[in-house]
Structure 1
Amino acid sequence: MSPRGGQRALAHALLERHGETFAAQSGIRVGNTPQPLYQVLVLAGLLSARIRASVAVAAARALFDAGMRTPRRMAGATWQQRVDALGEGGYRRYDERTATQLGDGATLLLDTYGGDLRRMRKAADGDATALRRALQEIPGMGPAGSHIFLREVQGVWPEFAPYLDAKAVQGAERLGLPGDGRQLARLVGPDRTAAFASGLVRAALDRSVVEDVRKAAGA
């Protein structure tokens, strides 16, 4: 098998076995409408903390199951309701601070963008740096959270694609794949780049994913 063929085999094995986006894992059907975009924002903030991704996903699901699916519903919930939902998802280490940030962030989003992240996108005008800067004005959304958000929405905001940040590239390098985002994206095509990026992040976080993918690809 040629080196390029070997890379494609690894990429497709990763997609097949570990290529579910974190949004899909959280029950979010990503689309270019306010509610799913906000849900991805919440998830990105939760994932950016020093906590297992599985716990962040469970906490996001618990918040959404409790009805906090929009900025208005999040801002309208009590602080204790947000704490309780986070706790139900196992997100206990940061629950009190995160409950405050979720409320403050929802209020800021409502006041500044009418609760619609598409307005933030329009203001960024295709500039990923500008968009990341705007995202980081939201309480609880640091650099890591802004990267996660863009990774997850690149399928519906294509001007920012392919979006493979440093964590995704770290996973690629562990698998022996190129360390360049555009080269990586060409291995799978534009429709699957978000799922591929999530798989690469899992490879960066868990060495057993690397071993599993190498075995499946015969590498």
Structure 2
Amino acid sequence: MDAIVKKLMREAGRTYAEEAGITLKDQPGALFKLLVLTNLMSARISAEIALSAARELFGAGGGTPRGMARLSWQERVDALGRGHYVRYDESTATRLGEMAEAVQDKYGGDLRRLPIEAGRDPGRAAELLREFKGIGPTGVDIFCREAQSVWPWLRPYFDAQARKGADRLGLPTAPKRLADEVPDKDLGRFAAALVRAARDKKLAGSVTS
């Protein structure tokens, strides 16, 4: 493994799901939590605030489709407020309720059915993810970048932000070449670390110094 990659993984090699307290597994609860986090991170708001809001929502009982749907709109607004997600709190509270209902209606509350529906094709999976309000191309990238940890058929998934981070660190930018830098099980963490390097010049400087 390249020395820069080793240092990057040591300093920033954790997924955003891990930071939100999600133990990512190919299980309904964990995948729904990742979808919630994706929705929150898709807005023009800092990752730290999105992570904090996700933790508050999960603590309030919104960690499953049924639990999120059972929360009142005001309870969702209040949880977002405690996470300082105040700029988009009202529209997001509505969107999260609709998303929870959509997961229940289309997938029976179990997002493990999405790969089956998509035929394990990343392009088709992207289309299905965009059916959820609030998730556009950026959200698709966030979800797939993290989900590759448990859905091997998405690998390697390095979106534009991750490739920007790789370029900043002087690493290859082609996804297949980047994938050769770490074991398959670490691809999600590596991609997240590259995104952090793209967003944080100080981190990138520390890793390359």
CA deviations on 1:118-160 (whole Å, 9 max, x unpaired) are: 1111111121010011011011111111111111111110011
For residue 60 of structure 2, the aligned residue among 66, 80, 84 is: 66
Alpha-carbon distance in structure 1 between the residues aligned to 2:4 and 2:90? 41
Structure 1 partner of 2:163: 169
Structure 1 partner of 2:88: 94
Structure 2 partner of 1:118: 112
Shift of 1:191: 1.2
Shift of 1:212: 1.3
Q: Where has structure 1 moved over 3 Å in runs of 4 or more?
A: none
Alpha-carbon distance in structure 2 between the residues aligned to 1:48 and 1:205? 15
2:175 maps to 1:193 = no
Alpha-carbon distance in structure 1 between the residues aligned to 2:186 and 2:33? 20
Shift of 1:45: 1.1
Number of matched pairs: 209
Alpha-carbon distance in structure 1 between the residues aligned to 2:59 and 2:9? 28
CA deviations on 1:159-218 (whole Å, 9 max, x unpaired) are: 111111111001111111111111111111201110000000001111111011112xxx
Alpha-carbon distance in structure 2 between the residues aligned to 1:105 and 1:98? 10
Which segments of 5 or more consecutive residues in structure 2 lack a partner in the other structure? none
TM-score normalised by structure 2 residue count: 0.98
**Amino acid of the structure 2 residue aligned with 1:84:** D
2:172 maps to 1:178 = yes
Structure 1 partner of 2:41: 47
- Partner SS for 1:40: helix
Which segments of 5 or more consecutive residues in structure 1 lack a partner in the other structure? none
Structure 2 counterparts to residues 138-177 of structure 1, below 5 A: 138-177=132-171
**Amino acid of the structure 2 residue aligned with 1:199:** A
TM-score normalised by structure 1 residue count: 0.93
Alpha-carbon distance in structure 2 between the residues aligned to 1:48 and 1:175? 25
Structure 1 partner of 2:32: 38
Alpha-carbon distance in structure 2 between the residues aligned to 1:97 and 1:45? 12
Shift of 1:72: 0.6
CA deviations on 1:38-71 (whole Å, 9 max, x unpaired) are: 0001101111111111111111011001111101
For residue 73 of structure 2, the aligned residue among 74, 79, 91 is: 79
Alpha-carbon distance in structure 2 between the residues aligned to 1:33 and 1:188? 25
Shift of 1:95: 0.6
Alpha-carbon distance in structure 2 between the residues aligned to 1:21 and 1:35? 17
Structure 1 partner of 2:5: 11
Alpha-carbon distance in structure 1 between the residues aligned to 2:157 and 2:163? 10
RMSD between superposed Cα atoms in Å: 0.9
Alpha-carbon distance in structure 2 between the residues aligned to 1:79 and 1:21? 29
For residue 106 of structure 1, the aligned residue among 100, 108, 123 is: 100
**Amino acid of the structure 1 residue aligned with 2:63:** R
Alpha-carbon distance in structure 2 between the residues aligned to 1:50 and 1:206? 16
